[in-house]
Amino acid sequence: MSTSRVIISAVLLLSSIATTSAFNITRILEKYPEFTQFNTLLTNTKVADQVNSRKSITVLALNNDRVGEIAGKQEDALKRILSTHIILDYFDVLKLNKLKDTKTLLTTLYQASGTADDQQGFLNVVHQTGGSIVFGSAMKGAPVDAKLEASVLSQPYNVSVLSISKPILAPGIDGALRPASAPPPKAVTAPTPSTTASPPPAASPESDMIADAPAPATESPTSTPPSEAPAPADATPADVTPPPSAAVKQVVSGVSLGLVVALASFL
C-alpha cells in the first residue's frame, strides 16, 4: 500500500518536472464567475502554479457562496486546505462513476508537499447508496460529506474541475486543532532503580584481575590472603562460596569476603 503510494508519488513528481503547462487553471476558472473567489485564493497562495505544473489533475472547486469558511484562514493554512482540494489525477464524472470500489483513496497536492500529517494528504471518495458521490478527508473520523454537484469543465485527461458542496477540512490542517497524536504518554515515573540495579560493569572485574590478581588466593578457602581476612577459620564456607570460577574469585577475594565470613559465622 504505502510502497505503491511512494511509487505513484515518484512517478507524479518525475512527470511534473519535465512539463510545460498543458493548461492554465487561472485562465480556465476566469470563465466561470461563480468561482472568482476560489480562483483568487488559488492565485494568491500560488497553488495555481503547482496545479499548472501537473499534467493530470482534478480541482474540487468551491463557488463564491461556499468559499467563505476557508477564505479567512491564515495563508499557510489556506494553502494546505486548497492543496487538499487538488487531486493528483484526472477524474471526471464518468471516471468517478466507473470506480469499482464504493470507497477509493485519492492522493492530493498537499500529500505531494511532504508536510502532511498522517492521512491529511489523502481524500476518500465514496459512492453513496442513493447514487451521489461524496468527498472527505481520509483522516480517521473525518466527515466525508462534500458532495459532488457538477462538472464545471473537463479536458481529458489533463484537467477536470468539479464543483463540490462544501470545503474539505482535514482534522488539524488549519493548525488550530492538532490530531490527538501530540501529547506524550504520561507514565514517566522513573523506572524503579531496584530492577535495573545492575552488577558492576563486566569489564572492570577482569581488568582488576589482571591488575592486582592476588593469584592463587581462593583455590581453597583456607588459603585466602591474610591481608584482610581475620581467619575464616572454620571450614564451613565451603558450601557458601560458589565454585571458584574466574569471575567469582575476584568477588570473593574482594569486598564480599567479609560477607562470606559474616554468613559463615551466622551459620
Ligand X SMILES: *[C@@H]1O[C@H](CO)[C@@H](O)[C@H](O)[C@H]1NC(C)=O
Site residues (CB under 6 A) for ligand X? 21-24, 26-27, 52, 55, 155, 158
Kindly state the helix (H) or strand (E) to which residue 173 belongs, with its residue range: none
Helix, strand, coil in percent for the chain, rounding step 5: 40, 15, 45
Q: In the complex with ligand X, which residue's Cβ is closer, 24 or 44?
A: 24
Q: Phi and psi dihedrals of 61, rounded to 5? A: -100, 150
For residue 43, the minimal CB distance to ligand X (Å) is 8
**DSSP label of 108:** B
Q: In the complex with ligand X, which residue's Cβ is closer, 26 or 165?
A: 26
Angle between helices 257-266 and 246-253 (to 10 degrees): 80
Q: In the complex with ligand X, which residue's Cβ is closer, 159 or 257?
A: 159
For residue 161, the minimal CB distance to ligand X (Å) is 13
Neighbours of 126 (CB within 10 A): 17
Q: In the complex with ligand X, which residue's Cβ is closer, 15 or 165?
A: 15
For residue 185, the minimal CB distance to ligand X (Å) is 49
Q: In the complex with ligand X, which residue's Cβ is closer, 55 or 249?
A: 55
Q: What is the SS3 string spanning 213-249?
A: CCHHHHCCHHHCCCCCCCCCCCCHHHHCCCCCCHHHH
**DSSP label of 255:** T
Q: How distant, in Å, are the alpha carbons of 9, 32, 65, 162 from that of 90?
A: 15, 20, 25, 11
For residue 129, the minimal CB distance to ligand X (Å) is 34
Q: In the complex with ligand X, which residue's Cβ is closer, 31 or 178?
A: 31
For residue 33, the minimal CB distance to ligand X (Å) is 15
For residue 38, the minimal CB distance to ligand X (Å) is 14
Neighbours of 26 (CB within 10 A): 15
